[in-house]
């Protein structure tokens, strides 16, 4: 039975991650040498992107043959991403060692390295490839940040096709981490609460969010964050959806929470303001027909999906 499609950008990765293959060094080497295998070059965490083939056709990720890996990646890390629906093995390679990558003979005139968040917001790349790029970005970023053993300080080595680092000195093993973040919409009597930060554009309101702390459940984190930032007390929490967020490696856990009342008090630290919105107000703002005093994050953000679900009467 197939899972329902997640409404969030960076979700719905179509690859078979084939995790059972990661410890098979011979198989990984075979795939790297295969003429059908492909890799995406990542320069300073930006994927290589091909321009639009024609008006309105969108951009494509610049997948390259793995034969070019030695020339482009050099000593940069190469991570196995998975197998696509055509049976091809896909990899990501850090080419940040190149000083002028777009003028490299293998890449010149083909495309450009672009910011993943910018192309996602512009809707220029298919959702499936955005999800794969989120995986690639998070993995390479993890290797860039964890080159040394946190136990003894020695330089660690990549293992298991990029999904483990091992210390040759103390033998400690290190694995990629994902940081859970709750993002939630408080609801009470047909209204929802959204806050804003001082640094945000004028009028922007969004769902409250915060990292889940050690030894804390998702429900407890939702209640704590709402209480700390807006003094809102809640009696129940329901799950909506999650969004992989490769900045650098978070998982946004979207929730709705039933508030005990509409009482609130802004903390003045995390938030600079906030207000309750009626269902009719959220519907108007999402439709671009608000009064101009407030607006919400675009569909790119999970906060938009939380507000949308409320506006549509699904919670």
Provide the β-strand partners of residue 60. Answer: 50
3-class secondary-structure state, position 185: strand
Average pLDDT over residues 144-155: 97
Count Cβ atoms below 10 Å from residue 268 Cβ, excluding itself. 10
Q: On the CB side of 210, how many CA atoms lie within 13 Å of its CA? A: 23
pLDDT at 187 over 60: yes
Alpha-carbon gap, residue 73 to 75, rounded angstroms:
6
Q: What percentage of the chain carries pLDDT values higher than 90?
A: 96
The pTM assigned to this predicted structure is 0.95
The per-residue pLDDT for 1 is 55
End-to-end C-alpha distance for the chain, whole angstroms: 25
Quick one: 275 exposed, middle or buried, by C-beta within 10 A (0-12, 13-18, 19+)? Answer: middle
Q: Which of 19-28, 55-64, 280-289, 305-314 has the lowest mean pLDDT?
A: 55-64
> What Rg, from alpha-carbon coordinates, does the chain have?
22
Alpha-carbon gap, residue 51 to 6, rounded angstroms:
27
The per-residue pLDDT for 119 is 94
The per-residue pLDDT for 53 is 74
Spatial contact of 279 and 313, defined as CB atoms under 8 Å apart: yes
77-108: pLDDT as tens digits: 999 999 999 999 999 999 999 999 999 999 99
pLDDT at 136 over 70: yes
When pLDDT is cut at 50, 70 and 90, the band that residue 188 belongs to is very high
When pLDDT is cut at 50, 70 and 90, the band that residue 191 belongs to is very high
Alpha-carbon gap, residue 194 to 303, rounded angstroms:
10
Average pLDDT across the chain, whole number: 96
214-240: pLDDT as tens digits: 999 999 999 999 999 999 999 999 999
Spatial contact of 284 and 290, defined as CB atoms under 8 Å apart: yes
The per-residue pLDDT for 5 is 87
251-285: pLDDT as tens digits: 999 999 999 999 999 999 999 999 999 999 999 99
Our CA angle for 207, 221, 254, nearest 5°, is 40
DSSP string computed for 97-118: T-SSGGGSTTTTTT-EE--HHH
Alpha-carbon gap, residue 218 to 237, rounded angstroms:
9
When pLDDT is cut at 50, 70 and 90, the band that residue 289 belongs to is very high
3-class secondary-structure state, position 31: helix
Spatial contact of 181 and 253, defined as CB atoms under 8 Å apart: yes
Spatial contact of 225 and 255, defined as CB atoms under 8 Å apart: no
Alpha-carbon gap, residue 69 to 61, rounded angstroms:
16
Average pLDDT over residues 297-306: 96
The per-residue pLDDT for 70 is 96
């Amino acid at each position: 039975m197939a899972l329902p499609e997640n409404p969030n950008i960076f979700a719905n990765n179509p690859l078979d991650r084939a995790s059972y293959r990661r410890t098979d060094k011979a198989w990984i080497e075979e795939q790297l040498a295969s003429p059908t295998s492909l890799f995406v070059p990542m320069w300073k965490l930006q994927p290589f992107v091909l321009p639009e083939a024609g008006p309105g056709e969108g951009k494509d990720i610049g997948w390259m043959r793995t034969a070019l890996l030695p020339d482009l990646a050099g000593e940069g890390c190469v991570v196995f991403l998975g197998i696509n629906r055509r049976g091809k093995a896909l990899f990501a390679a850090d080419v940040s060692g190149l000083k002028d990558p777009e003028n490299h003979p293998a890449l010149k005139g083909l495309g450009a390295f672009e910011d993943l968040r910018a192309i996602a917001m512009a809707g220029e790349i298919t959702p499936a490839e955005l999800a794969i790029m989120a995986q690639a970005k998070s993995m390479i970023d993890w290797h860039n940040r964890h080159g040394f053993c946190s136990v003894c300080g020695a330089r660690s080595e990549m293992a298991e096709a990029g999904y483990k680092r091992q210390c040759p000195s103390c033998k400690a093993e290190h694995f990629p981490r994902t940081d859970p973040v709750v993002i939630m919409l408080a609801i009470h009597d047909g209204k929802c609460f959204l806050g804003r930060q001082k640094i945000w554009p004028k009028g922007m309101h969004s769902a409250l969010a915060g990292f889940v702390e050690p030894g804390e459940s998702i429900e407890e984190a939702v209640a704590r964050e709402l209480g700390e930032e807006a003094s809102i007390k809640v009696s129940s929490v329901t799950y909506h959806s999650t969004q992989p967020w490769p900045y650098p490696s978070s998982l946004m856990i979207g929730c709705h929470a039933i508030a005990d009342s509409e009482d609130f008090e802004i903390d003045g630290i995390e938030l600079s303001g906030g207000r309750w919105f009626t269902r009719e107000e959220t519907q108007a703002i999402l439709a671009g027909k608000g009064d101009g005093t407030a607006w919400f994050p675009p569909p790119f953000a999970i906060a938009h999906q939380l507000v949308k679900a409320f506006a549509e009467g699904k919670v």
